[in-house]
Amino acid sequence: MKGLNVLRWIVLGALLCLLGEAFAQQATVECRIADEIRLNRENEIKLYRVEHGKMVEKAGGKYTGDGYFAFCFVPEYEGFYVVGEEQNYCYPVWVKAGDKVTVWIDRKGGHLYGKKNSKENRVLYEWQELSREVSDMSTRRFMARQGTYEDFFRKLGELEKVTDRFKSEIRTGNTVFDELMKKSVDYEMDYYALNYLLTP
């Protein structure tokens, strides 16, 4: 009888360890959406993984009237994911096992909020804020103030002046992220210029 009780405790302990490990592997991406925006007709928000530079839908659903939605999942890889919807409101997040990312989406774009975000996401959203005006002029023309070709390239030049300093200060302790983030900054700068030139 005593042996059975000991066995029960061993089994229970093993199950608790497995559950604890499963929860530790899980990541959460939370979104809060401002009342004044609708992401799309269906009121849907999606989580995308990134494969060969393309967004591939991982999960999605309708968000409730309180403008809150959360994805809880075990990340297939550590790296960039995208949250939002495919066209006008989509924002990058860096996710690894155990992370909790919180994003606020309003008419001005995506913003990080809360105190539990990782160093990687804090750096990522520092860049989002730094490049927001140029990004809006290039990719979200409907949101940007109307401006001329000269206005855009003046702003792009101003942003270019601070990118080297920004990249030199990326030190999260995650060498994979740090290197990818530096490359991402360079790619985005090229993308903003090319996208603006190709916009009618």
> Mind giving me the DSSP string for 41-108?
TT-EEEEEEEETTEEEEEEEEE--TTSEEEEEE--SSSEEEEEE-SSS-EEEEEE-TT-EEEEEEETT
Report pLDDT for 40: 73
Mean pLDDT by 10 residues, the chain (200 residues): 47 41 72 80 85 88 78 91 83 93 89 90 96 89 69 94 96 96 95 87
Of 193, 143, 192, 188, which is closest to residue 166 (Cα–Cα)? 188
How much is the pLDDT for 25?
Answer: 82
Closest alpha carbon to 21 in 100, 96, 97, 95: 97
How much is the pLDDT for 142? Answer: 57
**Backbone φ/ψ region at 147: left (φ over 0), alpha (ψ -120 to 50), beta:** beta
Q: pLDDT value at position 185?
A: 96
Scan for tokens 């290197």, then name that residue. 179
Tokens of 67: 């403008």
Task: Say if CB 117 and CB 100 are below 8 A apart.
Answer: yes
